[in-house]
């Protein structure tokens, strides 16, 4: 294991973590402000990935395709919020889980009807397909650098929006004490619609960007939903800062687990056992992290309330 | 909170209801017991295996209804215990064990232990955090099963010889295995009904409604919840062991998180905290899915629509609808 390999894996972990953050930020705010568990967030991610891949394939430039995906998903999310999610705010978490699970089932069939059951190959933009020489001996895929760059920019933008603007203040007020914010004249319902649509835009952006380096297929939303939920639970529900720290932690732990655990175990254990144990531990690393955090801090690392 | 028991004793016109409630389960049991004999006559052989699976899933769903509906513990990892039961059977069969008593008994014990350990850690959290931590443990079990290459890893493990129950009972025979499953399911359901109506069941409902008050009254809240959680896990494990024999195959997909979610969905659909909620939810969900699958490849969206409709129009589940209709009549 040389240092080049380690740096490469850390960059991969950073990129994955930032994409998880894009997903988790919206999920966490929706949860924090309106106390609403939205399992269909992963379906919005899937919508973004499919629309971007298809638009790019149809001849649109990559940036245009990504923007189109974000715009289309925002419209879908707005309609979803008006039709279903809005009516779930006052209900308990179980009702929200059941109804949004229903939305997942419908979304998967809609995608199947429009784009067919087989996975879609999402192409990378030609200009970014090659590697960039980061250090004399460290070539790194340009596209993954783009992910890191966009992820950091969005994180910064979200930080400025939430911490330094009037609308951000309303969002934070709603997240820390909804009842009080309502009494002070904040229209929390309208703030929530904004947050829901913003979260959808971020999810679509993550989906569109992840498309070329993962599989664009039905069920991709459910697969990424669980790590995103792990992130918001570790970070503390409702906290954007918590989601950021936790997303990077989970991204690093997951990537490092897959890259470093098997070789490390091979050094001390017989190869067959090391391969098995390494794969198992790599898969469960992020869940171990979450279980450990919850047992020590039952409300996550950065609780938004109280 | 109105419980069905209270309501029926308060309404004098519903004198017939308790009688029907007492007779109906026996009628249902008789019809189910006759099903393997009637199926070939009616040309329903295909559905024999289906009804057997339904009975097995009902065991798991009933155990989830017990902790979720009566105990207020929203667990999203119940499929993990199904997996522990199924893989216990796989491990024993792989080691050369052929006795169903031993294999199923070990599955019960192993999943009870797993549930006790997971419960002891998870029950410190509440609400959504509990939901997520039980999910996390189920995911750990899932990845553990994926990495067990001795038992096929991702590809799963085939169980080719049926387990032996002794006394001339051949579990390899479709109809005989159906009766075995029916007997176990009926026993589990009777046990669940007794426990739900016992002091333990009532204490659990008290904890669900007001934990602070129950602990002020001197009830050992944590221990009661843990006992319920471990018991439910054990029954889910039994369902997993039966499912292993039913499918003659075990793979990690049994433990995928969507399986846990589907179990939760079926219980809520049927009616949380209602005696017949879990069987009703399982029957409606699985029959609908099976029928839709026969007719179209787009069989998910009608189920999704059903869930959204139930959440908005029948928030207390289908069993509550029936109870209301029965009271109004």
- Provide the token pair at B243: 């499912």
* Greatest alpha-carbon span in chain A: 66
Each residue of B269-284: pLDDT tens digit? Answer: 888 888 888 888 999 9
Domain region containing A101:
3-218
Both structure tokens of A264: 């490390």
Is the pLDDT at B159 greater than 50? The verdict is yes
CATH number for the domain harbouring residue B301: 1.10.3470
Judge residue B49's burial from the number of C-beta atoms within 10 Å of its C-beta, 0-12 exposed, 13-18 middle, 19 or more buried: middle
Contact B143 A283 (CB under 8 A): yes
Give the pLDDT band of residue A81 (cuts 50, 70, 90): very high
pLDDT at res. A247: 94
Instruction: Indicate the number of domains in chain B.
Output: 1
pLDDT average, residue stretch B32-56: 82
What percent of chain A clears pLDDT 90, i.e. is strictly above it? 32
Which range (A14-18, A254-258, B187-191) has the least confidence? A254-258
Q: A 22-51 residues with CB below 8 A of B?
A: 31, 37
Does A230 reach chain B within 8 Å, measured CB to CB? yes
Per mean pLDDT, which range of A159-163, B41-45, B113-117, B213-217 is the poorest?
B41-45
Res. B17 pLDDT band, cuts 50 70 90: low
pLDDT at A304: 66
Confidence of residue B9 (pLDDT cuts 50, 70, 90): very low
Residue B7: pLDDT over 50: no
Note the pLDDT tens digit of each residue in A152-173: 999 999 889 888 898 888 887 8
Q: Has residue A259 been placed in a domain?
A: no
The half-sphere exposure of B222 on its side-chain side, counting CA atoms within 13 A, is 7
Q: What is the pLDDT, as a whole number, of residue B237?
A: 95
Q: Given an 8 Å threshold on Cβ–Cβ distance, is A105 in contact with B307?
A: yes
Residues near B29 by beta carbon (within 8 Å), at least 6 away in sequence: B182, B186
What H or E segment, with its residue span, contains residue B249?
strand B249-250
Examine residue A306 and state whether it is found in any structural domain, yes or no.
no
Distance CA B244, CA B264 (A): 21
Closest partner CB to A109 (pick from B135, B137, B301): B301
Tell whether the model's pLDDT for residue B58 goes beyond 50. yes
pLDDT: which is higher, B192 or B329: B192
Q: What is the distance between the alpha carbons of residues B150 and B95, in angstroms, rounded to a whole number? A: 11
> B-chain residues within 8 Å CB-CB of A95?
268, 311, 315
Q: Which residues of B touch A291 (CB under 8 A)?
A: 121, 133, 136-137, 140
Q: What percent of chain B has pLDDT over 70?
A: 90
Which pLDDT score is estimated for B160? 78
Query: What pLDDT is stored for residue B276 in this prediction?
Result: 85
B16 pLDDT exceeds 60? Answer: no
**Average confidence (pLDDT) over A243-257:** 91
Average predicted confidence (pLDDT) for chain A: 87
Among the partner-chain residues B135, B305, B310, the one whose CB lies closest to the CB of A106 is: B305
pLDDT above 50 (res B329): no
Question: Is A294 in CB contact (< 8 Å) with chain B?
Answer: yes
Q: What is the domain extent for residue B143?
A: 4-328
Structure confidence at residue A222 (pLDDT):
86
Q: What is the pLDDT of residue A305?
A: 57
A130-151: per-residue pLDDT in tens? 788 877 778 888 888 999 999 9
Beta-carbon separation of B298 and A109 below 8 A: yes
pLDDT range class, residue B5, cuts 50, 70, 90: very low
A28, part of any domain = yes
Q: Inform me whether the pLDDT recorded for B155 exceeds 90.
A: no
Q: Which chain A residues are Cβ-neighbours of B264 within 8 angstroms?
A: 94, 97-98
Decide if pLDDT at B81 tops 90. yes
pLDDT at residue A29 is higher than 90: no
In this predicted structure, which of A25-29, B19-23, B56-60, B151-155 has the lowest mean pLDDT? B19-23
User: Which tens digits make up the pLDDT trace of A259-300?
Assistant: 888 778 888 878 777 777 777 788 888 888 888 888 888 788
Query: Between vectors from CA A12 to CA A11 and to CA A15, what angle results, nearest 5°?
Result: 85
């Amino acid at each position: 294991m040389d240092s080049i390999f380690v740096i490469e894996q850390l960059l991969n972990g950073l990129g994955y973590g930032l994409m998880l953050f894009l997903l988790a930020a919206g999920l966490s705010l929706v949860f924090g402000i309106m106390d609403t568990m939205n399992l269909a967030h992963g379906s919005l991610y899937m919508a973004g990935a499919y629309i971007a891949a298809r638009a790019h394939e149809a001849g649109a430039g990559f940036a245009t395709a990504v923007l189109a995906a974000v715009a289309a998903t925002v419209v879908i999310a707005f309609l979803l919020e008006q039709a279903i999610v809005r009516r779930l705010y006052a209900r308990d978490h179980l009702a929200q889980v059941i109804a949004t699970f229903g939305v997942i089932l419908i979304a998967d069939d809609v995608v199947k009807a429009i784009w067919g059951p087989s996975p879609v190959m999402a192409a990378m933009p030609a200009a970014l397909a090659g590697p960039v020489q980061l250090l004399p001996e460290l070539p790194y895929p340009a596209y993954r650098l783009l992910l890191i760059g966009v992820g950091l920019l969005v994180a910064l933008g979200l930080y400025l929006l939430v911490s330094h603007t009037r609308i951000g203040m309303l969002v934070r007020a709603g997240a820390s004490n909804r009842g009080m914010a309502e009494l002070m004249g904040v229209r929390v319902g309208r703030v929530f619609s904004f947050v829901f649509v913003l979260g959808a835009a971020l999810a679509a952006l993550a989906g569109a960007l992840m498309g070329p380096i993962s599989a664009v297929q039905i069920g991709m939303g459910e697969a990424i939903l669980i790590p995103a939920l792990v992130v918001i639970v570790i970070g503390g529900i409702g906290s954007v800062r918590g989601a950021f720290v936790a997303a990077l932690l989970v991204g690093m732990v997951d990537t490092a687990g897959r890259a470093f655990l098997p070789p490390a175990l091979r050094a001390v254990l017989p190869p067959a056992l090391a391969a098995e144990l390494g794969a198992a531990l790599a898969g469960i690393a992020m869940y171990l992290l979450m279980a450990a955090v919850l047992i020590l801090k039952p409300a996550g690392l950065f609780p938004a309330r109280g | 909170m109105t419980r069905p028991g209270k309501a029926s004793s308060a309404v004098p016109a519903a004198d017939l209801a308790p009688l029907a409630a007492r007779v109906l389960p026996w009628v249902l049991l008789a019809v189910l017991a006759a099903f393997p004999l009637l199926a070939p006559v009616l040309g329903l052989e295909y559905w024999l295996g289906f009804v057997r699976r339904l009975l097995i899933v009902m065991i798991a769903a009933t155990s989830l209804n017990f902790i979720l509906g009566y105990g207020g513990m929203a667990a999203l990892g119940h499929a993990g215990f199904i997996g522990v039961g199924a893989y216990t059977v796989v491990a024993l069969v792989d080691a050369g064990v052929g006795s169903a008593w031993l294999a199923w008994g070990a599955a019960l014990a192993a999943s009870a232990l797993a549930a006790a350990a997971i419960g002891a850690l998870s029950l410190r959290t509440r609400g959504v955090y509990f939901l997520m931590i039980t999910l996390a443990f189920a995911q750990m079990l899932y990845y553990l099963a994926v990495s067990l290459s001795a038992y096929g890893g991702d590809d799963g493990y085939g169980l080719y010889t049926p387990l032996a129950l002794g006394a001339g009972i051949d579990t390899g025979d479709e109809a005989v295995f159906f009766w075995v499953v029916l007997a176990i399911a009926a026993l589990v359901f009777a046990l669940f009904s007794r426990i739900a109506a016992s002091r333990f069941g009532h204490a659990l409902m008290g904890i669900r409604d007001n934990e602070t008050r129950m602990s002020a009254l001197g009830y050992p809240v944590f221990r009661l919840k843990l006992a319920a959680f471990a018991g439910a896990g054990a029954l889910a494990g039994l369902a997993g062991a039966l499912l292993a024999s039913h499918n003659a195959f075990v793979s990690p997909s049994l433990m995928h998180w969507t399986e846990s979610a589907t179990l939760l969905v079926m219980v809520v659909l049927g009616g949380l905290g209602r005696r017949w909620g879990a069987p009703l939810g399982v029957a409606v969900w699985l029959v609908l899915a099976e029928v839709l699958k026969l007719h179209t490849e787009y069989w998910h969206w009608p189920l999704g629509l059903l869930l959204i409709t139930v959440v908005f129009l029948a928030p207390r589940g289908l069993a509550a609808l029936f109870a209301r209709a029965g009271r109004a009549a």
